[in-house]
Amino acid sequence: MLKKIFKIISFYDEARWSNMSNYYPINFYKSDLTFDAKLLTHWICYITDRQMAFQRIWEVGGFVFSEMVDRVEQDRTLEILNQDNSTSFIRKEGKDGFIFKGNTSVNDNKILKERGVNSSDCATFASRYYPSDYFSILYTLDILSHYDFSLTKFIVEQFNKHNGTEDYVKRLLFSLYLLTYYEVGQPTKSELNNFKDNIQKAEKRTKKVLSILNESFEEEYGKFKKDAIFRQKRAWCSLRDYFKSPEFSQYFKNALKEEGVNEVQISQLFQLKSFQQFELPGDVWNNNSKFRECVLENTEYDRPNESFNKILRDYFEKNKEELRDCYPEQFDITFDFVPRMCDRNNCDICPIGFVKGKEKSNFKKSCINDHNLYCSVALIDCNYKVDCFENECNLIKNLMTNTV
């Protein structure tokens, strides 16, 4: 039964990434940023993606951080994060606080004006955990200073080192973890006051990270992949978007081309084998007790204390030949599915309940099977807009033959 559920989830995932309207774009402060700048802005936005509305991160944070990244590309200096610099992107706020602030007026940016920001004002963004977010950004840029402040150059070097291994994507993820999240700790806001000390901390950390990347990678990666690799939600989300987002995958491909990666190498990178290495970014949605219990009912995985993403990886590795185009990361659609279905007790129209033979299933009533309309199942269950393919739909063709 879990194989069928994997295929149902794969249907939703395909719908999710088939249309740019199904996810939130970044509100870049200008349209003509380099491809690398767009990727780095996206990476930094995810650094701050913790316990706050994602719309604010992409709309406001994206505006501020894209200007910051653009400035880094031009000025090649970390002074943009010196709180004593009048044009810094981190500013003191109130008596003891700090805030990220741009240097460019909002002007006619429609999204920020709809948020009530005056055209003549600069955008400000307060991340929930800004002390650690600040240090993650500072540490990231300090390492990237060794790569011409280019995230793409960093990625290409790591890919070239590990291309040919069975787990090259996971090795790339570990490298990106070292870039941004390794040994950040829980700094206090008072630690932001001394830029000179913070630069010294960054340089010391950079030296250690470069040593791991170049000298002790295998040993440290061996430790990381046993458990920590399943806890890197933000890193996995960012890397996943570079492969699967219709918008960012194109930026990623173009950025790789600009760094000399050829079409054959890019094609090899974007094969199914790469996607199957992604781990599910663990969060409250895919660990939701109602969803989890339904999916794992009558299976060998009655392990309430084990993370759902570990369970999916274990099952996938044991059944990958039968699962074919499916893979664990696709369960990230729970971000959209669980609030609309599980939390609202819509079990009677859920395709998972339908294939499990639940009594009183009304799933058939939610599938209109009309190519002139959007797929009603994807729209109701996840708010994904994708055209209906009638009987050519994978959900019907592979799972519901002669039942809808």
Q: What does the domain layout of the chain look like in residue ranges?
A: 2-18+289-399, 33-275
Rg (CA), the chain: 22
Q: Could you tell me if 243 and 275 are in contact, meaning their C-beta atoms sit under 8 angstroms apart?
A: yes
H-type alpha helices, 245-362: 248-258, 263-269, 272-275, 289-296, 308-323, 334-340, 351-355
Pairing mode, strands 122-125 and 97-105: antiparallel
- Give ∠ CA 323-324-325 in degrees, rounded to 5: 105
For residue 404, the model assigns a pLDDT of 40
For residue 397, the model assigns a pLDDT of 75
Any long-range contacts for 379-383 (C-beta under 8 Å, 24+ apart)?
Answer: 380/340, 380/349, 381/12, 381/337, 381/340, 381/341, 381/346, 381/349, 381/350, 381/351, 382/12, 382/15, 382/16, 382/333, 382/336, 382/337, 382/340, 383/22, 383/336, 383/340
Pairwise CA distance, residues 182 & 175, whole Å: 10
For residue 399, the model assigns a pLDDT of 64
Q: Could you tell me if 162 and 218 are in contact, meaning their C-beta atoms sit under 8 angstroms apart?
A: no
For residue 107, the model assigns a pLDDT of 93
Pairing mode, strands 90-93 and 122-125: unpaired
For residue 135, the model assigns a pLDDT of 98
Per-residue pLDDT of the chain (404 residues; tens, 9 = 90+): 899 999 999 999 999 999 888 888 899 999 999 999 999 999 999 999 998 898 999 999 999 999 999 999 999 999 999 999 999 999 988 877 899 999 999 999 999 999 999 999 999 999 999 999 999 999 999 999 999 999 999 999 999 999 999 999 999 999 999 999 999 999 999 999 999 999 999 999 999 999 999 999 999 999 999 999 999 999 999 999 999 999 999 999 999 999 999 999 999 999 999 999 999 998 899 999 999 999 998 888 877 788 999 999 999 999 999 998 999 999 999 999 999 999 999 999 999 988 887 767 888 889 988 889 999 999 999 999 999 988 888 888 766 654 44
For residue 170, the model assigns a pLDDT of 98
For residue 42, the model assigns a pLDDT of 98
- Give ∠ CA 18-19-25 in degrees, rounded to 5: 125
Residue 193 DSSP symbol: G
For residue 391, the model assigns a pLDDT of 81
3-class DSSP state of 5 = helix
For residue 400, the model assigns a pLDDT of 61
Question: Phi and psi at residue 258, in whole multiples of 5°?
Answer: -65, -20
